Amino acid sequence: MIDNDVDLLIAGSGGGGLATALFASSFGLKVMICEKSRYVGGTTAISGGSAWAIATVQEEQAGLQDSIETGRRYLDAMGEGHGSGEMQDAFLEAAPAAFAFLQHQTDVTFTAPRIHPDYYPHLPGTTTGGRNLGPDTLDGRRLGSLINLVRPPRPEFTGPFGMAVARSEISDLVRPWRSIRAFRLATRAVLGHAWALLFHRRAMRLLMGNALIGRLLLSLAARGVTPALETSVARLWVENGQIAGAVLRTKTGEKHVRARQGVVLATGGFAANADMRQSMLGSLQTDHFVTFEGAAGDGIVLARAVGAGLAGGSASAGLWMPASILRRQGKRDITFPHLRDRAKPGLIAVGSDGRRFVNEANSYHDVCLAMFRSKKHGETVEAHLICDHAFIREFGLGLIRPFWSRLRPFIASGYLAKGRTLAELARKIGVDPEGLQATVARHNADAVSGTDTEFAKGGSALNRLNGDERFKPNPCLAPIGKAPFYAVRVVPALLATARGLATDTEARVLDQNRRPIKGLYAVGNDMASVFDGHYPGPGATIGPAIAFAWRAACHAAKRDVATDRAAQNGIVRETEHHGL
């Protein structure tokens, strides 16, 4: 018995799943989104929400020049000729049309920053800005009751009482007295948040990943689409050799849904599944992840049950983030990603020998890969971030916020180690005291000269962006000076998975003989990374997720992917958009 009949059934409501639904519904297809949790958004909702893409209309609007050819040179150099050329070309072809359609035809708008370098700024084809598209802030009141469906941001990423804070606002909010502008910004932000709590009991200013998910929801609602929550795909339904629909698990029992054009798997990859991490990550193993806890490989399991093959991850089966762990008695542990503090002046990362092993200001993915490489067989893969009291007061460290945080609870919990001398600190954290003392002495001498003689920290545009320009001559270097000294332990944590379902350029899932499984698509982290485990720039998971959502929707709706000039020029053509 058929309980529902749609054109396209989408499993998962992260950025990839919602974008597929938005594109497909805009093309006139009847879509259904099922989400197993009580919130919409998956990992995208708790992320920075950036989307990395090349030669987009957003870059043009920012007055920046880029091209597909330039992007191809960059990706080829990054992969050293070993990347997935066909899939990368499919991404390069689709992204400009997909992001133009979103910008012109929906409420899902982005802004390209003029300064935000790619993660390998030394490679040919790189840019210093424009490819990292940030979702525009959204006033949550526009969502009405739908705002309650958006997965809340991580509490540790918000200000007091859940206040949404942009990166550019942090320094002013921490020290509002330092200028009239800072005081006005802080006052406006605090009063606005207080008003939202009083009348709505939650933040109404949506930023980053919350803004992207909110904008996707808003645009879907305008097309009459609302996700079905607490509804998961129990199994795919095969009929006449193709995927004809799925059996859904709901609060009221199983439901059979026919999907005339197919099923799209967008469940977020396998980062939260311990067994799949063990079997699919190869030699780079971890117990830690910073994804949504529901990213448990559901889509991969469903596809494998109907003969799907796997691919991707030759460079790395995971995409990585250095993270510190706060253990809390009787509560869930907090795994905190270290995004910005590593580049700030006055911090180094050391291994068990007390020596540095990496340029701390490089991308989070590369720092973790260096962490793996630096360990001998059998050693725990970890590092310690070392700084002094002045650094913590100025910049914070991990979960410790600048200026306002009390350090004693973090020390008592074991999250933060403190030493009156470097040797005492080294003994407390289990690293070689002589090695640490020698390393800090060399670092401090380099800080005075402004040149990191070991790893060239501060030598690239990417490093300098995340440093602090007040510090001269190098915005990423300052002495680790007066005692006491502090350390936080960091480990590699999965930010996303690069190994996943094998697909073709239209996002169709391939079987183990590399033939398309008719009626089955995969996007986002269920799909093998088109960058094969490399990480070209910020938003390098969401950008391809949206591009291949576009390709999957175009294929299902029998539309051309790249020559849709209406989408690229922002012109609605009624005949092409089925009356929408």
DSSP secondary structure letters along 7-28? EEEEE--SHHHHHHHHHHHHTT
Q: Is the pLDDT of residue 193 over 70?
A: no
What is the CATH number for 419? 3.90.700.10
Give the end-to-end CA distance of the chain in Å, rounded to a whole number: 32
Q: Is the pLDDT of residue 566 over 60?
A: no
Is there a single domain that holds both residue 393 and residue 348?
Answer: yes
152 located within any domain: no
pLDDT of residue 196: 66
Is there a single domain that holds both residue 457 and residue 529?
Answer: no
Token duo for residue 233: 């795909």
CA atoms of 538 and 338, how far apart (whole Å): 14
Cα 373 from chain centroid?
A: 23
Looking at 453, 470, 494, the residue that finishes a domain is: 494
Is there a single domain that holds both residue 335 and residue 227?
Answer: no
What is the CATH number for 515? 3.50.50.60
DSSP 8-state code for residue 527: B
Q: Is the pLDDT of residue 167 over 90?
A: no
Looking at 459, 494, 529, the residue that finishes a domain is: 494
Token duo for residue 115: 């300064």
Is there a single domain that holds both residue 484 and residue 546?
Answer: no
119 located within any domain: yes
Is there a single domain that holds both residue 108 and residue 236?
Answer: yes
Is there a single domain that holds both residue 103 and residue 218?
Answer: yes
Range scoring the smallest mean pLDDT among 182-186, 233-237, 451-455, 538-542: 182-186
pLDDT band at 156 (very low <50, low <70, confident <90, very high): confident
User: What is the share, in percent, of the chain residues with pLDDT greater than 70?
Assistant: 89
pLDDT band at 405 (very low <50, low <70, confident <90, very high): confident
Per-residue model confidence as pLDDT tens digits over 415-446: 999 999 999 999 999 999 999 999 999 999 99
Looking at 494, 523, 551, the residue that finishes a domain is: 494
Q: Is the pLDDT of residue 129 over 50?
A: yes
The backbone torsions φ and ψ at residue 488, rounded to the nearest 5 degrees and listed phi first, read -125, 135
187 located within any domain: no
Is there a single domain that holds both residue 104 and residue 236?
Answer: yes
Range scoring the smallest mean pLDDT among 104-113, 171-180, 292-301: 171-180
Q: Is the pLDDT of residue 514 over 80?
A: yes
What's the structural domain count of the chain? Answer: 2
pTM value? 0.93
547 located within any domain: yes
pLDDT of residue 562: 73
pLDDT of residue 509: 98
CA atoms of 411 and 475, how far apart (whole Å): 29
Residue 56 Cα distances to 26, 52, 95, 209, angstroms: 20, 10, 7, 20
295 located within any domain: no
The backbone torsions φ and ψ at residue 259, rounded to the nearest 5 degrees and listed phi first, read -125, 100
Q: Is the pLDDT of residue 388 over 80?
A: yes
pLDDT of residue 280: 96
310 located within any domain: no
Is there a single domain that holds both residue 486 and residue 504?
Answer: no
Q: Is the pLDDT of residue 172 over 60?
A: no
Is there a single domain that holds both residue 325 and residue 388?
Answer: yes
305 located within any domain: no
- Structure-model confidence comparison of residues 349 and 163, the more confident one: 349
Q: Whole domain around residue 81: which residue ranges?
A: 4-137+209-270+498-564
Is there a single domain that holds both residue 524 and residue 472?
Answer: no
Is there a single domain that holds both residue 479 and residue 523?
Answer: no
Rounded mean pLDDT, 113-122? 94
Write out the DSSP string of 23-85: HHHHTT--EEEEESSSSB-HHHHTS---EE-SS-HHHHHTT----HHHHHHHHHHHHTT-S-H
36 located within any domain: yes
Q: Is the pLDDT of residue 169 over 70?
A: no
pLDDT of residue 358: 98
pLDDT of residue 20: 98
CA atoms of 343 and 167, how far apart (whole Å): 15
Residues whose CB is less than 8 angstroms from the CB of residue 201 and which lie 6 or more positions away in sequence, other chains included = none
Is there a single domain that holds both residue 536 and residue 489?
Answer: no
Q: Is the pLDDT of residue 515 over 60?
A: yes
